[in-house]
Structure 1
Amino acid sequence: MVSTGLAVFAAAAALLWTALGFPAAPTPRLDIVKVALTVVAGMGGVVALVVAYRKQRVTESAETRERVKLLNDRFGAACTQMGHDTPTVRLAGVYALASLADEWPDQRQVCIDVLCSYLRVPHEPDLDSPWSHDAETEVRLSITRILSRHLRPGAPVNWQGHDFDLVRAVLRAADFAGIHVPSGKFHLSLARFPGGWVSFDGMVVDGGEVWFGGATFEGARVTFDGAEFRSGVVRFEGADFAGGEVSFRRARFLGGEVDLSEVVGAVLPLFDEGEKPGLKLPVSPSTG
């Protein structure tokens, strides 16, 4: 470093001395020395800034790698917990993964996919009474509550706009009340609702896609009371209303498309009177 500084000093002094016509008087020579020293000091400052910048970049890169490693470790640990035999451990993994999704925007969709995939795992719930449910149903209910909290207005961390793949999910109890679907996909195609109560009360669809194609309503109470359908698509193609109740009381049909034209089964959805723009009902409801 010292030798480099001396070399810069010598080069600067030589250039200035040449530019000034090789002065012999001591005053110009002193000025040349001062200017050369200033140049060396400036060059030293630039070098110091470059070195400091590179050190900062290296430090930031190391910190980023360490943070990503920590997040990946947490992801793996949460997934391991969700696969545990004990329901309470699985529940802890669910909340750990939800917390990670809040902190990790780059991989939030992946965390959501894992939570949704848990609901797609085959499950036969306890149907002994309308209100009792087993420990596994409690884990699944907790997942739907987590999803709902993040899809409601005012959520500290909002998951709106992401995709929720609940195809073939088994939901005996679920609370989706008040969720907003302004974009993204919320798919419940081929899902099963075996008894219990699943609430979509007050949900707002305003540009997103909600699918119930081929879903089976097996004696469940599924309510869309007070929901608003502003735009977007909600479809029930081939959904089987085999029993229970499907209610759209006080729902507002303000645009978009709500297609119930191809539902099958003995149960007809319940509506209030009045115009319902965008609502499509079966021309000849099935009685089978």
Structure 2
Amino acid sequence: MRSIKAHIVVVVLVGLAVFLVSGSLLWLALGLPTALAPNTRLDVIKIALSVVAGVGGVVALVVAYRKQQISESAETRERVKVLNDRFASACTQIGHDRPTVRLAGVYAMASLADEWVEQRQVCIEVLCAYLRIPYEPALDSPWLHDEESEIRLSITRVISDHLRAGAPVSWQGHEFNLVRAVLRNADFAGIQVSGGRLFFSLAQFPGGRIAFDGMHVSGGEVWFGGASFSGASVNFDGAEFSGGRVRFEGAAFTGGEVSFRGARFTGGEVDLSAVSADHYTSPPVFDDGEKPGLLLPST
């Protein structure tokens, strides 16, 4: 409101100035006691009218610009309102009792993250928060087809789809907080980590298959500090580590298999040096040969 009033005051002052200038010129042209030549008087009148027309045009442009600003501001407010409504709706779906509705909410939140760049991190945090909810998978089911696990697998696939090369909308550079998440049958195969941070600290991998095969870490950070690899088949086969940092500080390898077969270590740092011996009873499998940047526990 103050901005509109300010513009009105400016327009009034400009109009007053136009009136005074044009009036003075007209008085000079028509009211001087000393007679002017007809041609001179005509020129002065033309100048006065030109000034009036020019300043009037400026005033019109100012008013039009202000109207455009008001219109664009209204459109922005409406867009943000729509996006907020979609966010609230997706959150409600994700928290629904019915698994099919929760799954629909996952894809609705992912779609919103693609469109709402300013709040993309918030949308990502909602998806990651779902994976951090306490969960006890049915370890006696080898394929784990229960509905809850399918929802969690879908979330990891949504995240991975946005971190792979050629993704229509990339989520590179964002933070993915999966601290204390319980993951069984998660798909992170082929993801590209060139920036941002992925936290799997204190995560549990109690069974099933966790796919990191073909991933490429060229920057950013991936943390597995304190993670428990107790029964899952965790696959880093064919991965490439050319930059960034992958840390396993305090992780426990006590069951299942963690495989780095065919992985390439060309730079960066993959650090398992801080894993204690009593938590290293099922050590990861590596190919033979030199691996720059790979730090293993001392024996």
TM-score interval w.r.t. the shorter chain? over 0.9
Offset of residue 262 of structure 1: 2.9
Of 14, 22, 33, the match for 2:27: 14
Offset of residue 6 of structure 1: 5.8
Which position in structure 1 is the counterpart of 2:6? none
Q: Distance in 2 between matches of 1:245 and 1:47?
A: 75
Q: Distance in 2 between matches of 1:110 and 1:16?
A: 68
Which position in structure 1 is the counterpart of 2:257? 245
Structure 1 residues 16 and 29, CA, compared in 2 at 3 Å: closer, same or farther? closer
Structure 2: gaps (5+ residues): 1-11
Q: Is the 8 A contact 1:126 1:133 kept in 2?
A: no
Of 75, 78, 85, the match for 1:73: 85
Q: RMSD over aligned Cα, in angstroms? A: 2.0
Q: Is the 8 A contact 2:189 2:211 kept in 1?
A: yes
Which position in structure 1 is the counterpart of 2:291? 276
Which position in structure 1 is the counterpart of 2:39? 27
Q: Distance in 1 between matches of 2:129 and 2:138?
A: 21
Matched, 1:50 2:62: yes
Helix, strand or coil: the match of 1:255? Answer: strand
Of 216-225 and 28-37, the range deviating more from structure 2: 28-37
Offset of residue 133 of structure 1: 2.6
Offset of residue 203 of structure 1: 0.7
Offset of residue 38 of structure 1: 1.4
TM-score (norm 1): 0.92
Which position in structure 1 is the counterpart of 2:282? 267
Which position in structure 1 is the counterpart of 2:7? none
TM-score (norm 2): 0.89
Within 5 Å, give how 1:114-129 maps onto structure 2: 114-129=126-141
Q: Distance in 1 between matches of 2:66 and 2:25?
A: 27
Offset of residue 12 of structure 1: 3.3
Q: Distance in 2 between matches of 1:96 and 1:119?
A: 16
Q: Distance in 1 between matches of 2:99 and 2:35?
A: 91
Q: Distance in 1 between matches of 2:249 and 2:72?
A: 52
Offset of residue 9 of structure 1: 3.2
Structure 1 residues 23 and 249, CA, compared in 2 at 3 Å: closer, same or farther? farther
Within 5 Å, give how 1:77-92 maps onto structure 2: 77-92=89-104
Structure 1: gaps (5+ residues): none
Q: How many residues align?
A: 282
Of 128, 135, 143, the match for 2:155: 143
Which position in structure 1 is the counterpart of 2:215? 203
Amino acid paired to 1:193: F
Amino acid paired to 1:9: S
Of all paired residues, the percent bearing the same amino acid is 68
Which position in structure 1 is the counterpart of 2:145? 133
Which position in structure 2 is the counterpart of 1:105? 117
Offset of residue 182 of structure 1: 1.1
Amino acid paired to 1:11: S
Q: Distance in 1 between matches of 2:168 and 2:251?
A: 35
Within 5 Å, give how 1:164-183 maps onto structure 2: 164-183=176-195
Q: Distance in 2 between matches of 1:45 and 1:251?
A: 69
Map Cα deviations across residues 61-104 of structure 1 (whole Å, 9 max, x no partner).
Answer: 11111111111111111111111111111111111111111111
Offset of residue 283 of structure 1: 1.9
